[in-house]
Amino acid sequence: MLLQRNSIFDTRFDTKKIFVTTSYRFSLRTYQDKEGKCLIYLDVRDSKKRIRYPIEIKINPSLWDPKKQRLKKSSDKHIQEISNAYNLVLENIEAKLVQIKTTFILREQFLDAETMIEEFQTSSPDFDFISFYRHHLSLQSYSKQTLKNHNSVLKKLSEYKSEIPFHKIDENFFLGYRKKYNKNSEVTYFSDVKCMKKFLNLAVKKGIRIGIEMEDLKIRFAKQGRVYLMPDEVKKLINYYYNEFIQESHKLPLGYFLFSCYTGLRISDIQQRKREEILHGVFQFNHQKTGNFQSMRLNEDGKKLLLHNPDLFKVKIVEQKINAHLKIIAERCKISKKLTMHVGRHTFATTYYRNTKDVIGLKKLLGHSNISNTLIYTHLVEGEEMEGLETVTY
């Protein structure tokens, strides 16, 4: 019986003498409409108040079982199908009510009838992290790439566990997640954790308790460093690009990579550009990742790059395919570094700072919101100067 299942919550759950006294049951309204049907209500009670909340399901009173608080079985196949559907709705409602009560227990918060109805009507799923993540993801406006990243992590979480109660998110949870996706790089893992941490912080602000302290949830990217090319390495790629014997399938991928070396644009922004706007001179856009407004123009070397291949910015290629070609191109040009499209952005940033020492200008050109992100490139270039100490011998 519903009230027996419900009664497990009507007990003291901490040493502060906080009680969950709220109970609920489904009942049938006595008033019948013109069709002889009655409305099902959700009755929620605490020690002082009773609230009747309409479920918006009307049934023939002869089908209602007040003890089981469900519709009775019927020999009529059509009626039984309707009864099954309505009973499923009631079970889902009950599951949500149990979730609400469980959430308040874990938060160590008192729950009265009025609050329970409010939570039932408007609350986000505050027991299961996957449901919470999905719910709040749908409420926010994100850039296309950020939304793609968040959805990727959501998919992985759903594959890892069908349900993730907040109180079970502890050190072992993250160890298990890392083991589950051990084929992913360390960078990918910490990127995933960064996404999770955004929604976990939101949950903590709402008073939800999790099994790990947020300050213990570290995000580490520094060990990976940033791969970038030196001018002589870029020169090798430029020579190959203009070589008449360049492999046909390498022309477009290398062209897009070198364009990034000249402008610092991310692949997401490159994919949005049209050939005409770039050749026009100064072109303007909003960064896909940050939304920051940007003005940019190609120098003469960049224009030459574009004019050499009429298919550039006419024929688009996905990033994964470009990166696959760049791996082969690097081997062919005897470059030992792992090339990806983002290496072009790093190459632009380090080259610009090496030649100008202008951090503010670099921040604007990269479209960074925070200058701390830009300062990373200054440290990389300054690290090159430290390497020169090896040449000082006596």
What was the pLDDT predicted at 100? 84
Residue whose tokens read 């149990």: 98
pTM value?
0.54
**Among all chains, which residue has been given the structure tokens 């519709």?**
71
Indicate the residue among 195, 224, 253 that finishes a domain.
224
Residues 235, 381, single domain; the answer is yes
pLDDT of residue 390: 57
My answer on whether 140 and 107 are in the same domain is no
- Residue whose structure tokens are 């594959």: 159
231: Cα within 13 Å, side-chain hemisphere: 7
Boundary (domain end) residue, out of 75, 96, 122: 122
Q: Tens of pLDDT along 63-92?
A: 999 999 999 998 988 888 888 888 888 887
Measured distance CA(210)–CA(203) in Å, rounded: 9
Q: Are residues 159 and 206 in the same domain?
A: yes
Residue 254 to residue 324: CA distance in whole angstroms = 11
Going by C-alpha positions, the residue among 313, 324, 311 that lies closest to residue 276 is 313
Q: How many domains are there within the chain? A: 3
**Residue 360 to residues 89, 293, 299, 342, Cα–Cα distance (Å):** 59, 15, 20, 21
Residues 235, 337, single domain; the answer is: yes
- pLDDT tens-digit readout, 49-64: 899 988 878 899 999 9
Neighbours of 270 (CB within 10 A): 23
Instruction: Report residue 391 CA to chain centroid gap.
Output: 47
210 and 237 together in one domain? no
Q: Are residues 47 and 113 in the same domain?
A: yes
Express each pLDDT in 153-179 by its tens digit: 999 999 998 888 888 899 999 999 999
Read off the pLDDT of residues 220-230 as tens digits, 9 standing for 90 and up: 754 446 899 99
- Are the beta carbons of 134 and 158 closer than 8 angstroms? no
pLDDT tens digits, one per residue of 365-391: 999 988 988 888 888 887 776 665 555
Q: What is the pLDDT of residue 4?
A: 42
236 and 375 share one domain: yes
Q: For residue 265, what are the CA distances in angstroms to 36, 60, 139, 149, 289? A: 68, 66, 29, 19, 11
Task: Say yes or no: 240 and 351 in one domain.
Answer: yes
Quote the pLDDT of residue 28.
Answer: 93
379, 360: one domain:
yes
> 56 and 161: one domain?
no
Same-domain check for residues 200 and 336: no
252 lies in the same domain as 296 = yes
Average pLDDT, integer, range 299-306: 92
- 116 — pLDDT class (breaks 50, 70, 90): confident
Look up the domain containing 282 and give its range: 231-391
- Using one digit for the tens of pLDDT, what is the confidence trace for 185-208? 888 888 899 999 999 999 888 888
- Residue 295 burial (CB count, 10 A): 10
Name the residue type at position 373: N
